[in-house]
Amino acid sequence: MPCCSQEGLISNDVQSDIPQLTNAELVQLRIRVIALENLMITLLAGVSDRQIDLAREMAAYISPRPGFTHHPLTVHAAVQMIDLVDRAGHFRDVSPSSAPSTSSPGAAPDKRNS
């Protein structure tokens, strides 16, 4: 048995006492997950290459290994982790000179070089 197995942590009696989530609660969870994903992308965009490598190593670590049961949620989680790292890479490649202008839309143009 793996050292950190979560199977059997919640008895069937306790599981039946847990109320089903309402549609509104599910929507709020989705919104929070989207927000957290975007925050993770933002944070990953600013980390070192070593930290990016560590994130990829963790995704590989939770992926099923030969001889172990492939759990679909764990497999999907590993894929999502790699996707977040890859999406953050898009923002890591943006240099300050190629970043969009931060001037306000109604601001007067800069005439120093005219």
What pLDDT sits at residue 68? 82
Sequence ranges of the domains in the chain: 20-93
pLDDT tens-digit series, residues 77-98? 999 999 999 999 999 976 555 5
Phi, psi of 106 (to 5 degrees): -95, 5
pTM of the model: 0.63
Cα-based angle 66, 9, 58 (whole degrees, multiple of 5): 40
Token pair, residue 35, equals 């927000």
Decide if 62 contacts 78 (C-beta within 8 A).
yes
What span, in angstroms and rounded, lies between the C-alpha atoms of 43 and 88? Answer: 8
Going by pLDDT thresholds of 50, 70 and 90, the confidence category of residue 70 is: confident
Say yes or no to pLDDT of 34 above 60.
Answer: yes
Phi, psi of 43 (to 5 degrees): -65, -40
